[in-house]
Every structure is written in C-alpha cells, then in structure tokens.
Amino acid sequence: MSLNNNQYTCLACHRTYTADSGVFDARSSQLSELAKEEALYHDHIDEDACETHQLSAWRNVFYHQYVWNFLTKVPKQATLVEVGAGTGFDAEQIYDQDKTLVLTDISAETLKRVAQRLNKNNIQYVAADGVQLPLADESCDVVYMIAVWHHFEKPGEALEEWRRILKKDGQLVIGVEPNRFYFYPIKKLRPFLCHAIHADEHEGSHADAEMEGFSYGQIQKYLGSGWRNVTIRPMWLFGGWMHYGLEFIYRVFHLKKRIQPPLWVEKMIVGFDELLFRIPGVRHLCWHWIVTAQKV
C-alpha cells in the first residue's frame, strides 16, 4: 500500500485511487450481488449501530476487551487491517499512533462517517470488498473483524484472502461470530419473529438475514490448515438470552428506549456464563464465538 498526496496506489494491482472525504474507493466493478446489497444497505443505514447492538453495555465490552487486549499487544510499527470496520467502535479503542490502522468496509459512506468521527492520524480508510482487499501479499501483521465473517457467501474464500495479506506468523482475530446452534433455527423462524416485532422481513442486511452461523466444528475445519495456535472462545450463554430477549421486548412493545439492566446483573450473568463454559460441552451453547489464529 502506498499513500501519496491523497492518492492511494494498490500494491497488488497497481491501480491508483483518489480520496473522497478521506476514503479511498478500491471496490472492484465486479462485486458479488451480496456485496453490492451490503454496500447499499450500510451506506444508507439510518440507525446507530452502537445503540442497536448496545456495544457500550458491559456484557459487550467484556468480550470486546478480550479482542482489544489481543490487538493492543502487537508490536509498535505494526500494520493492522480491520475488515468491515462499521461503526469504528473497536478501531477507536485500539488506536495507537505508532501503528498503522487500515479500516476497510464494503460501504464507503460508513467509512466516511467513521473518518469524520474518529478524526485521527495514522488511520487509512479504504472501501473494499473483504474478499478483494487492495493490499499486497504478506503486507500486514494483523487482520481483525467483529461480527463480519458471516457476511461472506464463501467464508473459506474470505479466510484465504486474509491469509494472503498476512505476513508469516501474522495474527487473525475474528470476533463475535454467531453460533449455528441458535442462528440456524432463528433463520428458519425469521418470518414469525419479524411478524412478532412488526418488522418487514425483507428489510435489513441480506447477509444477516441469510446467515446460519458457524458451529465450533465448522470453524475448526475452516482453520484446519494454513493456521496454527487456533483458539475458539465462547461468548454469552445466559448473556445472549438477556441481550436478544431485551431487544425482542424493545421491538415488540415499541419501547422508547432500550432497557439497560443494572451493571451488577450484567456482571453476574456474564460471570456465571464464564463459569459454565468451564464445564465440558457447555461452550457449544454459547451465542457467539471469538476466534484467534496465526498464519503458518
């Protein structure tokens, strides 16, 4: 990647892009239909994703912190690439001016909003499909993402792309990936659930609507070769029931504000989940996975 006078030259294909509001648009003209729909949906999203997903709630911060600790430990001068940077919530936490942060997303408008909000040095904003990143082979130390892997039609292909841009021993962090145990039945029940909350089932992110989540075994298989030190950590058991239950109540009853449980309740539930996950087999009942791996 090379940056010069607001011009960005892709080291993989040598095309040059000019920044628009600080964002380089490196999207191919041959995006998949799903990627186009995702770009359109996220360009025009009118809700605050931080609020919708309650990202600042303790039950979320506890697990995001696990990812942040991982990412802030990487050496100075490292290059970190976020795929599907969305709100910039995590980028803001791990920002360090001695490291280069490349925030990518399929939605250029999303990145413009983040660029305006973060307003920091050493962050580059590149609109690109996560399976076609305009970055040279073995050019990055870390590739990370939160709640993004399930947005790709071919998760194996996406992993290959992230492996390509990572240096040897480079670190991959995939946070908050839905567990198939819940999300496969949720997909099947989606028409009824949308009816219950008076929502149009065709609205929203197509990728979110279509995804079935990943089981522990599927993730192990995807990362079976080309990666080492693979960890697959569970996130939320009762915490997930609380999180999605509160969202369901908020939507069914058209509440003015989302319900915020007292901090001690969140801490107690997440703490209890963490104890339960020590029991063999219980991790398969988690709502999400947090995956880390190193490129061989």
Ligand X SMILES: C[S@@+](CC[C@H](N)C(=O)[O-])C[C@H]1O[C@@H](n2cnc3c(N)ncnc32)[C@H](O)[C@@H]1O
Give least dist CB 278 to ligand X, A: 27
Query: Measured between alpha carbons, how far is 110 from 44 in angstroms, rounded to an integer?
Result: 8
Indicate the SS3 state at residue 176: strand
Give least dist CB 152 to ligand X, A: 6
Give least dist CB 35 to ligand X, A: 4
- Estimate to the nearest angstrom the gap between the alpha carbon of 296 and the chain centroid: 23
Residues that bind ligand X (CB under 6 A): 35, 38, 42, 49, 83-87, 89, 105-107, 110, 129-130, 146-148, 151-152, 207
Considering only the C-alpha atoms of the chain, give the largest distance between any 2 of them, rounded to a whole number of Å.
Answer: 56
Give least dist CB 295 to ligand X, A: 20
Give least dist CB 23 to ligand X, A: 13
Give least dist CB 292 to ligand X, A: 16
Side-chain-side CA neighbours of residue 7 (13 Å)? 7
Our CB check for ligand X shows the closer of 105 and 141 to be 105
Please identify the residue of the shown chain whose CB is closest to the bound ligand X: 86
* Full DSSP string of 13-66: T--EEEEETTEEE---S---HHHHHHHHHHHS--S-HHHHTTTTSHHHHHHHHH
Count of residues making up the chain? 296
- Cα R_g (the chain), whole angstroms: 19
Alpha helices in the chain (DSSP H): 33-43, 49-52, 58-72, 89-94, 108-118, 155-165, 180-196, 206-210, 216-222, 238-252, 263-276
Question: Which one, of 208, 235, 211, lies nearest residue 60 by Cα?
Answer: 235
Mention every residue, 6+ apart, whose C-beta is less than 8 A from residue 102.
1, 79, 80, 81, 82, 123, 124, 126, 135, 140
Give least dist CB 126 to ligand X, A: 10
Give least dist CB 164 to ligand X, A: 15
Our CB check for ligand X shows the closer of 51 and 138 to be 51
Q: Which residue has the tokens 């909350």?
A: 197
